[in-house]
Structure 1
């Protein structure tokens, strides 16, 4: 059995920091691809959308402090973060749900370059079984346990309707999968040792709608105040 590297949280790295590491890694990989050898904390923070103090604190959890006047070595920092996230080895992924979302995930070419191999795409619909998607033949959900064992699946992805998600999750867990990415709009019940990440696009859209509404209120507020409350004349805004 392959020796498992300690997870970031097992090393005392805060969950908020763990959530930002992939963002730093993406920015660093772009710098690396452009041939940039070093980067300052200010520039990297700007590319990642955080302040530089937060970035420096996050990276200090990895034991990386940069060099004063030089910054961070891009290549080494890519390696450090990749190692911390477990991306220095390949992870086998199985997707259940061969609808539009599942097919889009299987077709996404970015997974392969980031250490993830889509090993299987499964569905319960007989009409979809046997379809070719991204070089894979869609398998039947009944083969899930065998696929997990044969392909050494580490991560299960659920891209099914809500009503099927818990049953699929239970089968993943029963087969020994302890990391699940859930796209179904439902909260999954799992044992404490199983990690679930939920991606709900409708919630993200609702959060954006909230911010849009707040911005709209902000634009309208001063106009209403100016119209209703301010005295006439040039000095009205004073």
Structure 2
């Protein structure tokens, strides 16, 4: 599946779950496109990647489409994961109750800070980093979430790779170096904020130019 389409699939899934909760049972590609600010042709191309066929002048069965997207995204196969870093961000992620709906089960948390080790975060107890390798191996964990400070991230990444982790969800604002076999998904919050700030600046500039262009 093309990467741009893959990135849109979870968006469709979350949107359709919301519409299902609102009582919607059938939905058209044009409605999806309008609500998600996408082009209808793009939505139809994306839906063609699924095994669900829409009915002319009616649309797609919402329940069938949700189930198919869950299959495509492997949400039905619950994957155990660990969180490294029990600071504010790590705690927020651990306490988020929606991950299991997306196939992710956060089952252990680790931190370097002795003051955090042994504390309760949600249903988890923070463990020392010295336990990481054994926990990963005993539970055959393949995914790790990194929420440590930037200066600690590479060392944590190295430790995770040595323990057998195959995929890393990285929230530290740093480019991690790992073997090509390791999948890394970076979430740079600062970069996203910078993009949002620049878009706001451009929007305000355009609005200002339009106001100046209007006759007094």
TM-score by length of 1: 0.85
- Which shifted more, 148-157 or 88-97? 148-157
Q: How far off its partner does 1:98 sit?
A: 0.5
C-alpha distance after superposition, 1:188-221 (max 9, x if no partner):
1122222111111111111011111111221222
In the alignment, what sits opposite 1:208?
196
Q: How far off its partner does 1:169 sit?
A: 1.2
In the alignment, what sits opposite 2:65?
77
Mapped pair 1:199 → 2:178:
no
- Which shifted more, 181-190 or 106-115? 106-115
In the alignment, what sits opposite 2:118?
130
Q: Where does 1:9-28 land on structure 2 (aligned, <5 Å)?
A: 13-28=1-16
Q: How far off its partner does 1:224 sit?
A: 4.9
CA distance in 2, matches of 1:197, 1:92: 17
In the alignment, what sits opposite 2:82?
94
Q: Which has the larger radius of gyration?
A: 1
Q: How far off its partner does 1:154 sit?
A: 2.4
Q: How far off its partner does 1:128 sit?
A: 0.5
Q: Which runs of 5+ in 1 are unaligned?
A: 1-12, 227-235
C-alpha distance after superposition, 1:65-112 (max 9, x if no partner):
411122111111111111111111111110000011101110111112
Q: Which runs of 5+ in 2 are unaligned?
A: none
In the alignment, what sits opposite 2:34?
46
CA 1:224–1:46 in structure 2 vs 1: closer, same or farther (change >3 Å)? closer
CA distance in 1, matches of 2:192, 2:176: 18
Contact 1:94–1:157 at 8 Å: present in 2 too? yes
CA distance in 1, matches of 2:200, 2:180: 37
